[in-house]
């Protein structure tokens, strides 16, 4: 899969974050997409504010959102084919 290229040859962050929301929507189908988008945007902003290097912020964002949701007691959806 090709990535949209942004300034300086980097991946377009907005597109990458939308893709993370897509993944989280599958993993947490009980939540509204708007809520997941808010979590992703807020978490990315928090991580970016303290980051010295931004190379892995998108991946860290998904992990941190997943962690926050699980701490709230929200179960992650596991596809049947992944559980076998």
Residue 39 to residue 20: CA distance in whole angstroms: 11
Q: Which residues of 4-34 are buried (b: 16+ CB within 10 A; e: fewer)?
A: eeeeeeeeebeebbeebbeebbebbeeeeee
Q: Would you state the CATH architecture of domain 7-83? A: Orthogonal Bundle (1.10)
Residue 12 to residue 52: CA distance in whole angstroms: 19
What are the boundaries of each domain within the chain? 7-83
Provide the angle, in degrees to the nearest 10, between the axes of the packed helices 13-27 and 57-71: 30
4: pLDDT strictly greater than 80: no
Hey, which of 10-14, 35-39, 49-53 has the most confident mean pLDDT?
Answer: 35-39
Mean pLDDT over each residue of the chain, to the nearest integer: 84
């Amino acid at each position: 899969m090709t990535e949209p290229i942004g300034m300086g040859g980097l991946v377009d962050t907005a597109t990458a974050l939308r893709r993370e929301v897509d993944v989280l929507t599958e993993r947490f189908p009980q939540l509204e997409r708007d809520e997941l988008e808010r979590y992703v945007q807020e978490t990315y902003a928090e991580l970016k504010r303290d980051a010295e290097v931004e190379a892995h912020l998108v991946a860290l964002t998904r992990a941190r959102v997943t962690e926050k949701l699980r701490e709230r007691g929200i179960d992650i959806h596991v596809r049947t084919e992944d559980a076998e």
